[in-house]
Amino acid sequence: MKKINPPRLYTFLLGFVVALPLLFLFTSMQGKDGQIARVNFTDDKFPQDYKIVSPPIPDQLDFAGEKVPLDNFEVKERIDREFIVNTYYHSYMIISIKRANRYFPVIEPVLKQYGIPDDFKYVAVIESGLSNVISPANAVGFWQFVEDTGRKYGLEINDEVDQRYDVQKSTEAACLYIKDAHDRFGSWTMAAASFNMGTNGVEKQMARQKTNNYYNLVLSDETSRYVARIIAMKTILQDPEKYGFDIKQEDLYPQLPVYHVTVSEPIPNLADFAISKGVNYKILKLYNPWLRDIVLTNKEHKSYTIDFPVKGSIKIIDELENH
């Protein structure tokens, strides 16, 4: 009798152990006629209760009251792309939902004051994620203004003060820009597109292609997607649960209650100024990111409004705690 090599014996036994459950599963899946039964995966059998679907697109969509022509297959697929991208860009959407709770109440009344449709608040979301970011082209803030455009619409920009970082002031400037663009093109949709490629760029393409309809223009991929991204963001943020985002009220970033201090004199040291108001320099900067230096020379004695947290609304770390 041929002697079995122990390693081969172990391999045989291991294969038998692995195959036995599979044989049992195969047998259990057979119907009475010996055919393999189909396994029906129901909603509760997806891993981690999670399944990937194509997000629903409403039958009708609009931007600022202007209808989106979803009967045009190219437009619908353009919109569909942005619904898919944003629905499954989980981290970005969760942060956007949380930040919107804090900053939309700041942006909305400014839009209303200037007669700009409320839908334009979603422009700030896709421009910056409601954050004071700086683009590779040195566009700054929630509304991503470059220096020339910011100054054109009344923002002060220098080494000590940059109002592109001020949500209130930069939203006012954005309203002036949007109003000018709407007056120029007669369309809120086109005004939104111009926020991405500039009014001169839009005007050039309209003349070149002989159309004044955004959806009929051949544009760069970025500008072509721009309004679709706004519309997708608007729809998802208005009903996040429908798109799988289960964000509780307590998870949202709260509004920051503030009181205002108006100054018209130079401030030689903003850290000392902050301490005199019961906060530290970091807190001062968090609430007033438009202050770009440690000093405010203010030679012209301009009037500035500086925000401070309402007493007790935040935890301020005592410098002595670590000593």
Instruction: Report the alpha-carbon distance of residue 128 to residue 131 in Å, rounded.
Output: 5
What is residue 39's predicted lDDT score, i.e. its pLDDT?
44
What DSSP string runs through 40-71? ---GGGSGGG----PPP--S--EETTEEP-TT
DSSP state of 240: G
Which stretches within the chain are classed as H helix?
6-28, 73-87, 90-113, 121-128, 147-152, 167-185, 188-197, 199-209, 221-238, 270-276, 281-287
Phi, psi of 5 (to 5 degrees): -65, 125
| Domain 62-251 -> CATH class | mainly alpha
The pLDDT tens digits along the chain (323 residues) read: 444 455 555 555 555 544 554 444 444 444 445 454 444 445 556 555 678 999 999 999 999 999 999 999 999 999 999 999 999 999 999 999 999 999 999 999 999 999 999 999 999 999 999 999 999 999 999 999 999 999 999 999 999 999 999 999 999 999 999 999 999 999 999 999 999 999 999 999 999 999 999 999 999 999 999 999 999 999 999 999 999 999 999 999 999 999 999 999 999 999 999 999 999 999 999 999 999 999 999 999 999 999 999 988 888 776 654 44
Element (H, E) at 258: strand 258-263
What is residue 24's predicted lDDT score, i.e. its pLDDT?
46
pLDDT of 103-136, one tens digit each? 999 999 999 999 999 999 999 999 999 999 999 9
Instruction: Report the alpha-carbon distance of residue 200 to residue 181 in Å, rounded.
Output: 10
What is residue 51's predicted lDDT score, i.e. its pLDDT?
83
Model pTM?
A: 0.83
What is residue 11's predicted lDDT score, i.e. its pLDDT?
55
Task: Return the number of other C-beta atoms located less than 10 Å from residue 191's C-beta.
Answer: 26
What is residue 41's predicted lDDT score, i.e. its pLDDT?
46
pLDDT of 249-304, one tens digit each? 999 999 999 999 999 999 999 999 999 999 999 999 999 999 999 999 999 999 99
CA 159 and chain centroid, separation: 28
What is residue 8's predicted lDDT score, i.e. its pLDDT?
56
Task: Answer yes or no: are the C-beta atoms of 226 and 202 closer than 8 Å.
Answer: no
